[in-house]
Amino acid sequence: MQTVKLNNGVQMPIEGYGVFQVSPEETERCVSDALKVGYRSIDTAAAYGNEEAVGNAIKNSGIPREELFITTKLWVQDQGYENTKKAFETSLKNLGLDYLDLYLIHQPFGDYYGSWRAMEELYKEGKIKAIGLSNFEPARLVDLILNNEVVPAVNQVEVHPFLPQDEAKAVMEEYGVHMEAWGPLSEGGNNIFDNEVLKTIAEKHQKSVAQVILRWHIDRGVIIIPKSVREERMQENLDIFNFSLDQNDMDKIATLDLGKSNIIDHNSVETVKMVNTLKIHD
């Protein structure tokens, strides 16, 4: 598996397996299948409710811990210095691990400054190999960087051909933050798999549309975590390292940019209300 070097020297697989919206009942089987077909990076979150199932799959896989890269995320309800320390230990226990490879602040709401201070300490103690963010817009990202000691290693944001996030990517690169795409296939929105531009490129390379999209991310140096509950799709999503897109392909895909999210608007009042009121525990 191809890796990227994060700003602290840690090597992270450029492609991982995500378990967003995978039910706890299905997660253990799905992660086991993903590990079996070759994934070594698994992305979960406290808010997904499936950390324990991920941990079970890891334990039963027989794969040495040092060969795996495990990410989870801190939910808004647990923002703040003390709460973050507790939430981290809960996630670690759920996963059955003694350290995390990557810990992310899931949303840019609540006392994320207090959370970052706690995460900096956990990082310095060696309990986390790298710390980062999720869903941070460029201005919030830069503000956090300028007012803290540790620069985030990763910022996981919505990225796909309809929202390539070129400006955000440039800001991340300026500060040494690696872009990671959630929803790399646009969660199937806007009929992406039937898009004529992408279908034409897929035919040219004798690949599926999904493979072309994932390769587009790789050619941009973006970390991806596609999700599927079907083993054959997991394998297909991994089979993207034997071809590359040319500049003509990249230019055509650039025309698909809609300039806005087709999934969620983190700048809307309704999103802020929804995220802040979603409780994942008592």
The greatest distance separating any two alpha carbons of the chain, rounded to the nearest whole angstrom, comes to: 54
Tell me the pairing of strands 11-13 and 3-5. antiparallel
Annotated catalytic residue 48: yes
281: left (phi over 0), alpha (psi -120 to 50) or beta: beta
**CA-angle at 217, arms to 213 and 221, nearest 5°:** 165
The one catalytic residue in 48, 103, 112, 123 is 48
2, 16, 11, 3: which is closest to 237 by C-alpha?
16
In whole angstroms, give the CA distance from residue 77 to residue 111: 10
Q: Which two tokens stand for residue 117?
A: 């201070």
Number of other CB atoms surrounding residue 149 within 10 Å: 10
Helices (H), the chain: 24-37, 51-61, 81-95, 112-124, 138-146, 166-175, 196-205, 209-219, 231-238, 247-254, 269-277
In whole angstroms, give the CA distance from residue 134 to residue 180: 9
**Helix, strand, coil content of the chain in percent (nearest 5):** 50, 15, 35
Catalytic residues: 48
